[in-house]
Structure 1
């Protein structure tokens, strides 16, 4: 085991302090994911959006005693952290990669490196599953394929493993060379080449060449020779390869494919013989991913019957963790596709990031194929569960049940999923956030079904990763000391206030803003501790503001009088002053200042936290002069506010559009609204954002109508010819606007745009699906990445805000992370 005082032999650097000899067991790069301080080494990495050095003190207080840093005065660091081991390096990320490369070099087992534009994670997961009868495999957790994720993946290797599979992804030249030194693969798989991350490369040829850097020195590279750019580059490099192809001679030559039910039959030539296998998928991407794995198994000389048996047990890989509403005000985190230590840690991180949902419960199956001795494995599981603050554990499986004595949290043990379901009592679960984490063979999807509420056919999926991406995009435009307030009013623009606010708290925004006190109260009651500004407080809510430490926006002398009169004598209170610079909606004008400051002088217990104003036309260049006039006026008014108060306040005027168009006027804080939800209000940088919400529904029925027949209320829809229509389960009661009626609106079914026919009804509407193989139960996309809010809003003459906030609360929200 490596000690801290040996680190400099691995990657050099300057030893600032060696307070005590400590082993290095866990690597940490995100202060929010600390689980076991003892044995943890923290790398303070300066990234594009954050700086790990800001969290040294917090981690020290939490018990971490080993740090790799890039900056800081040595004497000051020693004084502040007297018990810490401190090593200073030029680049903490490079040091992390060097440490992982050193760790990798200690093992002589086969290591597969996987890269390509698509399919890396699927191929990795399937290959690990297919090899499981023969090998104890360590693999990248989920899609840990970045400059940061790869070294953390490789650090998992230990003496129990017989095989390793790591994926590597890059977005610009020079990155793969670094990952190759970490993974040091002995075998390789190149899945394909496509458009992902095109913006980082001059051409596809350059991208292929960069990705091939992973395979320097491999014994063998597996790939499909039909990808011409890949094939030509591999041949030019002289890399020894094992190929499969549909169009040319290869080690495995596919001569035919056919679909039978839910399987694809492949006929191929292998070692001079004609063979046949059935792949349990029919979509092209899954078939290609499976063929990479088949080629690998053929190379290992597995009998065809054994390969078929293993293929039959393949299952789709869930690429995301979903949070779903469930019975008795519970929420589920659905992660039922596999169960290993790394995946459990990631799922527990998501659980830990949701403090607002009452008790934290985990339903966990046996962990399979870990490569660890059972007692050591379940001791680590017990430590992980306890460190993550789990309050209730339900353990299912004969193996975990044998080690019940290791678990200190309240735990119930069941021998099987059927045993748990037979004793399941819904009343015993209330106001809980429940992680359901099980190996596939335990069929935990049955547990999810037992917990879930009856789901209305229409759901709004909220992509938390996209929300974080958008947050980081706007953060990247801010000066270092500018604070960030995020608007979560109107149910977080329809996306779900609790869940979004909690994610923002986890990512350390400075302020939240809501429209009404009740919204702030709900956030407080669900664990949100960030400062919250209430934009429309009313006198009957002032008591709630004090009770829940909410900070009101004050926009008139009359309102301020009512507020201060509600205060207990001498009770301190924080307020935000709204200044009117031309929006002419709410706010103080300069003429109101005398009355305002007389009141504030009479009530010194009232502290003005911020002064702000709102730009009326920041999203359109035609209003630039007016916006600049507003900003200039605000600067003058804010200066007068501070002069009269005798102290500084936070000053903010830029909204989402203003952040993009007027970066020189960020002042002390900016307010991020619709931008974080994936709509760039100016229209100039929409491609930089990711859509956060996808509204989906299902087809209820398909029927044929004759030419001249009518559809829907008032007979507004008339068939111009014989037509196939599908009724979908969404209507204006779900927030789907009636203006989409009669061909104005479209939905996506099977990837095709299908126009509405007839009027939108309260709970359903009809679409023309003529020529498409649509059946009841099929999915229909109402809006999402390929049918955007911006486009839909334009088609009915409104704005994306309206469509997003109109989505009814009866529509279930599903929150997911990739």
Structure 2
């Protein structure tokens, strides 16, 4: 607990109003769970000003604020006025960090930070009470908020640190001050913020200035050469791992089998052998960081093997799925604590419209929820929620949550499930991995097709922010969520974009807009193609039409006038060269006359569409922009407050001179760009997986699939997978053209793709029914599948039908 006076002393602030006691620091007015004990920190960013949400926080019951703009000091609340709110938050977190003496692990690198953090957490949870970064909280704001979760009940901290430009890491280093430092890898992420790769490595390495131990891959020459030059002459322990003989942990041999890697290594003069799961090279590197860290922490070899088994328990980071028992189910397999519950509740608010939340805590023997501070945090996080506990509950938990419903087992809970779970509420399931929580998850999940599409919402938000960084702060963003949000699920994606304050959404047809309205999306939505009979539906659902011809313009005005509407928002499209929908520029005088002669509509925006912004030659796009400039000049003389826009995803990254008032972000949001170099900044959002249904041996001379055209020249092992052209898998991929990824190998399709099934050649691998099959993911990219199909990524994404269930995850 902090007093405002203590906080003001730390950050050299001035108190206006009475002194109060607070416990929680928030920077987002939507993430307030215990307002009486919360202090709201108003941060100013390039695209937002937290001071504008002070009233929202007050309305939630918050009465304490840290601000750096004195004009917001008003009312009976208490304010701490500082020079810079972010600096103040960081100073408070730094002071808080230095009140604890237990070891802290700091992790940085371009990739793998969250994965390594989670491997360490799952491995060490039986040995330590761990405090860690929630999700990927590794930014200038996320790090101090994570550090402020440190408490006396913990005895190990694990925190991530991410940067995007020089000057940032020194600030994070003062806050985290890690005893043990891990540098995972270096890649292209945020390259644009640095002069070269070396500058980025040296900037990240500042995290370890006061560290006692430094862990990295000896085989990564860029990292090794720079870190040894920077810290090799100091008294830090350089705990590198790799195939080089003088490594702290020297890998002698790695032997791969179907499911495991057997590793023989030497460290501390002793040779050890251990097995880890077989996966990609990135997976192998992440496990080596884990094993090296376990040795640094003094874990003996026998226990390392046992801990690795625990690390292999599947992690679920805020995965959202459908349920028959409520509005949606969000799952977080991990510690039961206040930060986890608060984060889950926040994400549910961003994903689905609901009338409350039921928090289900799945405990088991050994679950570390029995200390007072943690129980108090859990109770405060659940303050406005229905709470169910399954397992042998701590007595103090019942005392802290008076209305707690508790059950000793899943079976006991199942007897009352229909009376407890309100179908109008969303469900948050939290708990450490155990067979009981997996059984409970299976009970709550809506049963679905074995083939699933996973949407990484963290990656989607990352891509949004990549594009936002390219445009001026005042430029608005219109996000395209047509065609089932490019295969990602329109309602879930739209709710997330609304939460992240995108200015407009766009759909192709009115029924898509109606779906979003029914899903609780209340922000402006533009409809690209609506017919005259659908105008009533548009107006009933407050959808804004794109008017692309004189006929649609006049017809919609007639509809508005007949219904006595005034100032209904519309968007007018001109054809500057694509020759699809759009008004001919020669009709601009007529357009101006029609709009000026009515009060029934309000011209919100005027736009056109670039048809070759991803081509090597931008001359056609520049010609379109020049035509649009003339239209813009004429319209600006006649109308005020009109938004002009022409840039699509490729245009945003390649034609910054035409940013104007708004940009339209489409496929770039979902991780693809025709600009190959720029694509390196984006993260893939969608992955597509299925499982093997059957494996069979087919002899030479036999045929496979419809038509009998594919004749085997030799004996083959064939795997049947439950996905076909009705699931969006193109028939062009059949007969050896396309591949899937199974057990570390690419396996070609064999025979024709069927409606609901297809066959793949697994002769060279050992495979069994139930084995995972990757269609799009880490090993087969969206671009690769599109190339095999002879099409573009757009078609691949939008061809996967809604019958394939979407699962939504939040992780780094």
TM superposition score normalised by structure 1: 0.86
Aligned-pair CA distance for 1:357: 5.0
Q: 1:23 aligns with which of 7, 21, 24?
A: 21
- Secondary structure at 1:719 match in 2: coil
- Secondary structure at 1:32 match in 2: coil
Structure 2 CA distance for partners of 1:683 and 1:545, relative to 1, 3 Å: same
Aligned-pair CA distance for 1:508: 0.4
Partner of residue 324, structure 2: 327
Partner of residue 81, structure 2: 87
Contact kept, 8 Å, 1:277 with 1:308, in 2: the verdict is no
Structure 2 CA distance for partners of 1:370 and 1:703, relative to 1, 3 Å: closer
Aligned-pair CA distance for 1:460: 1.4
Structure 2 CA distance for partners of 1:427 and 1:57, relative to 1, 3 Å: closer
Partner of residue 589, structure 1: 584
Q: Deviations over 1:49-70 (max 9, x none)?
A: 5454554454355444444445
Aligned-pair CA distance for 1:196: 7.3
Distance 1:325 1:354 in 2: 12
Matched, 1:630 2:624: yes
- Secondary structure at 1:759 match in 2: coil
Distance 2:744 2:256 in 1: 21
Q: Deviations over 1:629-660 (max 9, x none)?
A: 4333333334444555x544222222222222
Q: How does 1:507-586 map to 2 (within 5 A)?
A: 507-567=500-560, 569-572=563-566, 573-586=568-581
Aligned-pair CA distance for 1:751: 4.0
Distance 2:694 2:194 in 1: 47
Contact kept, 8 Å, 1:60 with 1:81, in 2: the verdict is no
Deviates more, 1:410-419 or 1:18-27: 410-419
Aligned-pair CA distance for 1:611: 2.1
Distance 1:263 1:616 in 2: 49
Deviates more, 1:533-542 or 1:111-120: 111-120
Contact kept, 8 Å, 2:42 with 2:67, in 1: the verdict is yes
Aligned-pair CA distance for 1:40: 3.0
Partner of residue 649, structure 1: 642
Q: 1:686 aligns with which of 679, 684, 701?
A: 679
Q: Deviations over 1:545-575 (max 9, x none)?
A: 2221111222334334443444454223222
5+ unaligned residues in a row in structure 2: which ranges?
Answer: none
Matched, 1:807 2:800: yes
Contact kept, 8 Å, 2:326 with 2:421, in 1: the verdict is no
- Secondary structure at 1:533 match in 2: strand
Q: 1:188 aligns with which of 155, 180, 195?
A: 180
Q: Deviations over 1:514-569 (max 9, x none)?
A: 11111111111111010111111223322222221111222334334443444454
Contact kept, 8 Å, 2:452 with 2:807, in 1: the verdict is yes
Structure 2 CA distance for partners of 1:108 and 1:758, relative to 1, 3 Å: closer
Contact kept, 8 Å, 1:124 with 1:166, in 2: the verdict is yes
- Secondary structure at 1:237 match in 2: coil
Contact kept, 8 Å, 2:46 with 2:473, in 1: the verdict is no
- Secondary structure at 1:398 match in 2: coil
Contact kept, 8 Å, 1:521 with 1:548, in 2: the verdict is yes
Q: 1:608 aligns with which of 603, 618, 622?
A: 603
Contact kept, 8 Å, 2:181 with 2:207, in 1: the verdict is no
Partner of residue 38, structure 1: 36
Structure 2 CA distance for partners of 1:665 and 1:250, relative to 1, 3 Å: closer
CA RMSD between the two structures:
3.9
Distance 1:490 1:528 in 2: 17
Q: 2:483 aligns with which of 477, 486, 490?
A: 490
Contact kept, 8 Å, 2:254 with 2:264, in 1: the verdict is yes
Q: Deviations over 1:25-57 (max 9, x none)?
A: 222233432333334333444445545455445
Structure 2 CA distance for partners of 1:285 and 1:681, relative to 1, 3 Å: closer
Aligned-pair CA distance for 1:420: 1.5
Q: 2:234 aligns with which of 215, 234, 237?
A: 237
Contact kept, 8 Å, 1:263 with 1:279, in 2: the verdict is yes
Deviates more, 1:665-674 or 1:567-576: 567-576
- Secondary structure at 2:770 match in 1: coil
Structure 2 CA distance for partners of 1:263 and 1:468, relative to 1, 3 Å: closer
Structure 2 CA distance for partners of 1:745 and 1:312, relative to 1, 3 Å: closer
Partner of residue 691, structure 2: 698
Contact kept, 8 Å, 1:520 with 1:534, in 2: the verdict is yes
Partner of residue 339, structure 2: 342
Contact kept, 8 Å, 2:604 with 2:643, in 1: the verdict is yes
Q: Deviations over 1:388-408 (max 9, x none)?
A: xx3x43222332576446447
Structure 2 CA distance for partners of 1:449 and 1:247, relative to 1, 3 Å: same
Distance 1:756 1:373 in 2: 53
Aligned-pair CA distance for 1:244: 8.0
Distance 2:587 2:435 in 1: 68
Aligned-pair CA distance for 1:136: 3.9
Aligned-pair CA distance for 1:713: 1.5
Contact kept, 8 Å, 2:291 with 2:304, in 1: the verdict is no
Partner of residue 763, structure 1: 756
Aligned-pair CA distance for 1:134: 5.8
Distance 1:765 1:541 in 2: 40
Structure 2 CA distance for partners of 1:406 and 1:773, relative to 1, 3 Å: same
Equivalenced residue count is: 800
Partner of residue 144, structure 2: 151
- Secondary structure at 1:558 match in 2: helix
Structure 2 CA distance for partners of 1:195 and 1:772, relative to 1, 3 Å: farther
- Secondary structure at 2:809 match in 1: strand
Distance 1:376 1:180 in 2: 27
- Secondary structure at 2:382 match in 1: helix
Distance 1:246 1:665 in 2: 51
Matched, 1:710 2:685: no
TM superposition score normalised by structure 2: 0.86
- Secondary structure at 2:35 match in 1: coil
Structure 2 CA distance for partners of 1:677 and 1:63, relative to 1, 3 Å: same
Q: Deviations over 1:607-626 (max 9, x none)?
A: 2222222223333254x444
Partner of residue 356, structure 1: 353
Structure 2 CA distance for partners of 1:369 and 1:202, relative to 1, 3 Å: farther
Distance 1:261 1:633 in 2: 60
Contact kept, 8 Å, 1:555 with 1:587, in 2: the verdict is yes
Structure 2 CA distance for partners of 1:550 and 1:681, relative to 1, 3 Å: same
Matched, 1:502 2:500: no
Q: How does 1:238-317 map to 2 (within 5 A)?
A: 238-240=235-237, 281=277, 284-285=284-285, 287-292=287-292, 294-296=294-296, 299=298, 313-316=310-313
Distance 1:267 1:805 in 2: 46
- Secondary structure at 2:769 match in 1: coil
Distance 2:197 2:141 in 1: 24
Aligned-pair CA distance for 1:464: 1.0
Distance 1:448 1:548 in 2: 36
Q: Deviations over 1:107-133 (max 9, x none)?
A: 333444455676655555565566556
Deviates more, 1:514-523 or 1:376-385: 376-385
Structure 2 CA distance for partners of 1:146 and 1:585, relative to 1, 3 Å: closer
Q: Deviations over 1:157-187 (max 9, x none)?
A: 23333444434455666554433322334x4
5+ unaligned residues in a row in structure 1: which ranges?
Answer: none
